[in-house]
Amino acid sequence: MRHSKKRSDYIAVKILAFPKAGTAYTEQFYQKLEGLGATVSEGVFAGRWLLQNLWRFDTVHIHWPAFFYTGNQSKLGELIQFAKFLLFLGFVRLSGKRLCWTAHNLYPHDPCAMPGLHKVGRFAVTKLATKIFVHGSTAEKLIAKEFPWAKSKMSIIAHGNWIEYYPKSCTRECARRSLNIPENTFVYLFIGLCKEYKNIHALIDNVKYLQENSLLIVAGRFDNCDYYRRVMELAGTISGNCLRVDARFIPDEELQHFLMACDAVVLPYAESLTSGAAVLALGFGRPVVAPALGNLCDIIDDRTGVLYAAEERNGLLKAMGEIRKRKFREGQILEFAESLTWDQAVMEILDEARR
């Protein structure tokens, strides 16, 4: 059978990752790979380093292509980095190496200084990649619609859970005490990096229409000062004690307090292909309110939360009301989260590297 190989079968596999460290997803994914005997190294995006080292690897695995060329404030600087990125992709393929892309999003959420680069970048990646990994059948369809030539290269993989990655030592009662939340309060939680596409402003705007004894907590760092000011100005119009904004990076140890204290996690994204925050919530046994976008359609159902049509007027508010009416079984949500393993995804890239 295809995935019945032993650890020893993969000891010779060497993968160059962009990036390997710095995100929960990549750290967990590559830890599983290394557990099977593969060698995974952090890639260095520098011409001399690549010329000296690329030959040692079987496969190059990239996650967020825009990270290679965005970050320069000037259009010229970004254009130069983008040209280097295209040369990098071509060099990998001309060297005979496998090139894998895990498609975490359809297009980058943050705009680039030079209009159109993201489209050209995605065109290049989908054309040159030997394998494209997508999280779920809905994501597969969206990418195939946007890039028809990529259809034959795609493999559906599960977004592995983080049940063992993040600390989970406190109870609901302990978590609520630490956050000073009364037991009879229904708590909605948004957690994660606070970006405009995540629609936090729309979520806060709905707070005034929630039932009594409701509390919305927004916990996460803002990376855009203008958006932070916009959200805080909106938050200032909300009276009473139904809203808290904890605008900072939430350390891993503290995540459990917010997730264990809440009754539901709300992810009101305007766009989404893959949601790690949803997988995080399910790993704590919490139901999710989310729009029917991307892989959210594949992991959120009657057992695990409430989906709403992103284009529906008042869809978010209705879904927030609906989740409060329904009873969810924490054990059933956890059981589903446990089924989202890294195993199949890991085997897919190992088999690709062995081709």
pLDDT tens digit string along 113-153? 888 999 999 999 999 999 999 999 999 999 999 999 999 99
pLDDT on residue 240: 83
- Angle value at C-alpha 345, between 341 and 349, nearest 5 degrees: 155
Residues 39 and 51 in one domain: yes
pLDDT score of 2: 45
Residue 2 lies in a domain: no
Structural domain boundaries, residue 184: 172-339
69: in domain: yes
Residue 3 pLDDT exceeds 70: no
Report yes or no on 166 lying in a domain. no
349 in the same domain as 292: no
Looking at the structure, tell me whether residues 327 and 345 fall in a common domain: no
Residues 88 and 29 in one domain: yes
| 203, part of any domain | yes
pLDDT band at 9 (very low <50, low <70, confident <90, very high): low
pTM of the model: 0.92
Number of domains into which the chain is organized: 2
The answer to whether residues 327 and 222 belong to one domain is yes
- Residue 289 inside a domain? The answer is yes
**Within a domain: 126:** yes
- Gap between the Cα atoms of 72 and 223, Å rounded: 16
203 and 230 part of one domain = yes
Q: Give the whole-angstrom CA distance, residue 261 versus residue 193.
A: 19
Is residue 276 domain-shared with residue 176, that is, in the same domain?
Answer: yes
Angle at which helices 117-128 and 75-94 cross, to 10°: 10
130 and 178, same domain (yes or no): no
Angle at which helix 330-339 crosses helix 276-283, to 10 degrees, equals 130
Q: How far apart are CA 195 and CA 225, in angstroms?
A: 10
Pair (192, 306) in one structural domain = yes
Please say whether the beta carbons of 214 and 244 come within 8 A. no
Q: The domain spanning residue 124 has which CATH number?
A: 3.40.50
Check whether residue 155 and residue 214 sit in a common domain.
Answer: no
* Residue 1 covered by a domain: no
Confidence of residue 157 (pLDDT cuts 50, 70, 90): very high
Instruction: Say yes or no: 261 and 349 in one domain.
Output: no
pLDDT given at position 11: 65
CATH number (domain holding residue 279): 3.40.50.2000
The answer to whether residue 167 is domain-embedded is: no
Regarding whether 208 and 315 lie in a shared domain, the answer is: yes
- What's the CA gap between 111 and 70, in Å, rounded? 9
Q: What is the DSSP letter of 222?
A: B
